[in-house]
Structure 1
Amino acid sequence: MIDPRALASDELRPGERLLWVGQSDAARLFGGRDAFLVPFSLLWGGFAISWEVGVLTSGAPWFFALFGSVFALIGLHLIVGRFFVKRHRKRTEAFAVTDKRAFITNGRSSRETDVRRMDRSITWTRGRTHCSVEWGGSGGGLFSGGGVQHVYANTGMDGLFGPRPMAFFDVADGTAMVQALDDAAGR
């Protein structure tokens, strides 16, 4: 595990003050978007793997085996690989709110947004135990301004179809995060 406070402190700019630091809950691997993705991944993967087994056992030309292996690998990523990606991100990324911006960092790269701009579209999601916030397009869907990257946000497939959205997902300390964002926006 990482130390989110140390990781965020390394990203501070001169004169910037840290208001809140947190992480995604790495134990939360399933979200609302998985209600569609899990059945779809099982159908895709099941078909692709059965195709591949059929081709390999029937002695079909090598091209069919190669063609099917691409779809089988995609199916395996949809079924299990994306959860490994998602858990890795949740364990290695830190979220931070300063008096000027909100940012996500993993020590090698970061994404940020100006929290003082009120013209940005912000989507809040509060559950019984966790809170999420997305900046930019609405997280609602492909045609609602969010784009494909928002459809796959927080699934382990985000980043495949464009830049990953600026978002703090599955934060257990949602009350403190919201308070820090409110404090930063009011300055």
Structure 2
Amino acid sequence: MSDSLTGQLLPHERVLWEGKPGTGIILRPVEAFLIPFSLLWGGFALFWNVSVWAIDGNGADLPFKLFGLPFLVAGLYITVGRFWLDMRIRGNLAYLVTDRRILICKRGRSSTSKSIDIKRLPALEFDERSDGTGTIRFGASGNWFNGGNFGIWQPTFDQTPQFIRIADVRAVYELIQKQAA
């Protein structure tokens, strides 16, 4: 365990499990909606900007040309940038189960940690894939389409604390259940 994680522990607290989220692109069921939407958005934004900037014969004013740039940037983010950012954030996450708490630690320039008392856990949601990896959510799933949850676009922005795509998720879930009892 790294020194930055050791500094998160309380006196006499024991680490029972330590892990990291899975790497690579995570595709969730909601992607069946998000990917086509992002391709349409990004495609139209690209078409708009190419039409306005490259075909300069239409005499468009500068404010009219600049109008489409934020839509192009948003299109780039929702089409490919969100996957890259999500992978980068997950690369800086570490998960701990101790005899007292659940810890989710983010390392990097803006280090943060979330701590949940293991004896006062909210509802646990457990999702296991056929390869044994999976996600444990510490709280009920919210509505992805409400205004306060940017987690629809990438799992690391979800407001509900979670262990994302960890290996041997069932064993970790059972360990947490045992400690919570």
TM range (shorter): 0.7 to 0.9
Question: Which residue does 1:106 correspond to in 2?
Answer: 106
Give SS of 2:16's match: strand
Alignment of 1:171 with 2:166, yes or no, is: yes
Deviation at 1:34, TM superposition (A): 1.8
Q: 2:73 aligns to what?
A: 73
Identity of aligned residues (%): 31
2:177 maps to a residue whose letter is: D
- Structure 1: distance between partners of 2:85 and 2:171: 27
Contact 1:115 1:181 in 2 (8 A): yes
Q: Deviations over 1:37-95 (max 9, x none)?
A: 11111011001111111111243111122110000000001111111111111211101
1:33 partner letter: V
TM-score, normalized by length of structure 1? Answer: 0.82
Large movers: runs of 4+ above 6 Å: none
* Larger RCO, structure (CA 8 Å, separation 6 or more): 1
Secondary structure at 1:21 match in 2: strand
Rg comparison, structure with higher value: 2
Inter-partner Cα distance in structure 1 for 2:98 and 2:42 = 43
- Name the stretch that deviates more: 107-116 or 44-53: 107-116
- Pairwise CA distance, 1:28: 4.2
CA RMSD of aligned residues (A): 2.2
Corresponding residue to 2:135 among 132, 136, 150: 132
TM-score under structure 2 length normalisation: 0.84
Query: For the residues of structure 1 that align with 2:148 and 2:118, how far apart are their CA atoms?
Result: 22
5+ long unaligned stretches in structure 2: none
With 24-33 and 45-54 compared, the bigger mean Cα shift is at 24-33
Equivalent residues in 2 for 1:1-187, closer than 5 Å: 5-6=1-2, 7-59=4-56, 60-107=60-107, 108-118=111-121, 120-129=122-131, 130-139=133-142, 141-142=144-145, 148-154=149-155, 158=157, 164-186=159-181
